[in-house]
Amino acid sequence: MNGVSAYQEASIGTESKGRLIVMLYDGAIKFMRLAIHEMEANNDEAKGRYINRAQDIINELNTVLDMEAGGEISANLRKLYLFMNSHLSQANIKRDPEMIREVITLMDELNKGWRAISS
């Protein structure tokens, strides 16, 4: 393991849960923006790869929800994550960048909330 990898692993391991969620949201948003760029460049392979990466992050966010402790908030987040994944799948099939932008808007709003509580 080189020094950069060790640093990155240590910094991620010491982040608060809220900050980790912000990092996941940031990553998903980045991948969705890249997917739009590739979609507009007619690069279907890269578009699909970036949408899949964003969906992987959303799936991870969904998986780690604590449904017992989170109650209604967790249930609502789960519904949003399922909607986002479905919407991204449809955007991929229809080649519709606006559908991806809609998911970015939702995720950006959630991210602002997580940033506020984790800072």
List pLDDT tens digits, range 42-78: 999 999 999 999 999 999 999 999 999 999 999 999 9
Tokens of 55: 């969906």
Q: Provide DSSP, 40-82.
A: HTT-HHHHHHHHHHHHHHHHHHHHT--HHHHHHHHHHHHHHHH
> How would residue 6 be classed by pLDDT, with cut points 50, 70 and 90?
very low
Compute the distance between CA of residue 88 and CA of residue 102 in angstroms, rounded to an integer.
Answer: 9
What is the fold of 17-118? Four Helix Bundle (Hemerythrin (Met), subunit A) (1.20.120)
pTM of the model: 0.85
For 25-48, what is each residue's pLDDT tens digit? 999 999 999 999 999 999 999 999
Domain ranges for the chain: 17-118
